[in-house]
Amino acid sequence: MRVLVVEDERRLAAALQRGLRAEGFAVDLAHDGEEGLWLATEHDYDVIVLDIMLPLLNGYRVCARLRAAGDDTPILMLTAKDGELDEAEALDTGADDFLSKPFSYVVLVARLRALVRRTGRRLPQTLEFGDLAIDPARRTCTRAGAEVRLTTREFAVLECLARASGGVVSKREILERVWDSAYDGDPNIVEVHISALRRKIDAPFGRAAVGTVRGAGYRLAVDGG
């Protein structure tokens, strides 16, 4: 899941980014409303976490402009403690949910997952490719009925390929969706994770589901290989 966090409190934003990445999310950050609006317009996100009190352009206006442009990405707005008027205006502006500061991180993650499920932006609960089954909600993977243990990143790469339904996914797309758009490390990290997936979901079962399309990227065979 790719998340945009628009929050001007930098320590809070950084903490959210670290925590959400640990949960397997790809996270982009913006520290003012104009940057947040630009990122939301330029990239495809599964959900947006949007503070209300932002420099340059407040959260209400960011939300309103996205909705006016036809962008239906789920938005969770962060409001002031006991801010009933904030909560009401957030919903009236087009937000899908709100959370009052200070908030529980566990509740935030649960709200984000629920938002995405409710708005139907994910694929069906279980994704099946032959005898390979991927359950994004439970974050489990099985091959021929046997559980395959994957790391958080490995699962995220596999889910990214599964979302394409047999289509080719470029290395850049994987980096942006599994890491984030600001990732500036070694891009060969994608190959490392692809190799790990092949060792875990293909080799032990005599399959070849994870394929390389030379010069284009990777794909997951619709029949499970």
Listed in sequence order, the DSSP H helices in the chain are 10-22, 33-42, 59-68, 84-93, 105-119, 152-163, 171-174, 189-197
Q: What is the pLDDT of residues 105-137, one digit of tens each?
A: 888 888 888 888 776 654 456 888 889 999 877
Whole-angstrom distance, CA of residue 165 vs CA of residue 201: 17
What region, left, alpha or beta, does residue 54 occupy, with left being phi > 0 and alpha being psi -120 to 50 degrees? beta
* Confidence at residue 123, expressed as pLDDT on a 0 to 100 scale: 46
**44/173 Cα distance (integer angstroms):** 11
Q: Of the candidates 48, 167, 166, 135, which has an alpha carbon nearest to the alpha carbon of residue 99?
A: 48
* Cα–Cα dist 72/60, whole Å: 15
Using alpha carbons only, what angle is made at residue 26 by residues 129 and 74, rounded to the nearest 5 degrees?
85
The β-bridge partners of 146 are 143
**Tens digit of pLDDT for each residue in 210-222?**
999 988 899 998 7
% of the chain exceeding 70 in pLDDT? 92
Using DSSP's 3-state secondary structure scheme, residue 204 falls into helix
Domains in the chain (CATH in brackets) are 2-119 (3.40.50.2300), 127-220 (1.10.10.10)
The pLDDT tens digits of the residues spanning 28-67 come to: 999 999 999 999 998 889 899 999 989 999 999 999 999 9
Q: Is the pLDDT of residue 208 over 80?
A: yes
* Res 81 pLDDT > 60: no
Q: Report the run of H or E that residue 49 belongs to, with start and end.
A: strand 47-51
For residue 30, what are the β-bridge partners? Answer: 6
Per-residue confidence (pLDDT) for residue 58, from 0 to 100 = 93
CA of 111: how far to CAs of 65, 73, 103, 133, 210, in Å? 23, 14, 11, 25, 32
Q: Is 221 or 83 the better-scoring residue by pLDDT?
A: 221
In this prediction, residues 173-190 reach a mean pLDDT of 76
Question: What would the mean pLDDT of 135-140 be, rounded to a whole number?
Answer: 80
Confidence (pTM): 0.63
**29: which residues sit within 8 A by CB, 6+ positions away?**
4, 5, 6, 7, 13, 14, 17, 182
Inter-residue contact 103 to 7 (CB < 8 Å):
no
